[in-house]
Amino acid sequence: MADFRTGEVLLIHKPLTWTSFQVVNKMKWLIKNHPSLLLDGKRVQPKIGHAGTLDPLATGLLIVCTGKQTKNIEKYQAQEKEYTGTFYIGATTPCYDLEKEIDATYPTAHITEVLIHETTKQFTGKIQQTPPLYSAIKIGGKRAYDIARAGETAEIKPKEIEITVFEITRIALPVIDFRVVCSKGTYIRSLARDFGLALNSGAHLTALCRTRIGDYELTKSMSIEEFENNLKSDNISGT
């Protein structure tokens, strides 16, 4: 039986359109009546949190910690990440993904497979990357996405990230599939923007899945529905 109060580390497959907060909130609601939360006949609500936000339009691995394991969230957040996804070449959006409509189109006739593969080399190693304005970064005490949604602009300073693998897995222009292994703080939406610019065109992200965090793999995760069913049968175990 899981002991959510002492602490569990749970691997969850975040569904499309859900925010990471919604996943945590749903899990908190599901476990609040679990037998492991009884202490001297009284019910105790454990702490619960996730180790690294995924955008609503991204899917994949979300590490959720409960109880005393929430103290280790920063350790999990700092670990290397792996993603797979798709870029659309020749068009951009204000948020660099499908949350907003296309705002500009660009030529693509000059783009070849050789150029695509050569361009990936510009984005491996330690590089400077500017996060999207549509992000949770705080600027002057406000979330950047709140500033953007209010129709305002703000300066976001670039920061150093590291991409150890940037592999093109399929080319079917105008779409390109990829695999990226990167450090904490890397925005794949920003990579889409920058990759499009490097191709002398434009690009935005149309699909993204986080497949790994450190040694924790998506293949070992469970859906929200599986978590709920396993919880009912006391068949939950952490990592």
For every residue of the chain, which 3-state class applies, written as one string? CCCCCCCCEEEEEECCCCCHHHHHHHHHHHHCCCHHHEECCEECCCCEEECCCCCCCCEEEEEEEEHHHHHHHHHHHCCCEEEEEEEEECEECCCCCCCCCCCEECCCCCCCHHHHHHHHHHHCEEEEECCCCCCCCEECCEEHHHHHHCCCCCCCCCEEEEEEEEEEEEEECCEEEEEEEECCCCCHHHHHHHHHHHCCCCEEEEEEEEEEECCEEHHHCECHHHHHHHHHCCCCCCC
What are the catalytic residues? 55
Quick one: CA dihedral 41, 43, 44, 49, positive or negative?
positive
From residue 70, alpha-carbon distances to 15, 73, 126, 162 in Å are 22, 5, 30, 26
Do the strands 159-172 and 175-182 form a parallel or antiparallel pair, or are they unpaired?
antiparallel
Tokens 């990471």 -> residue? 20
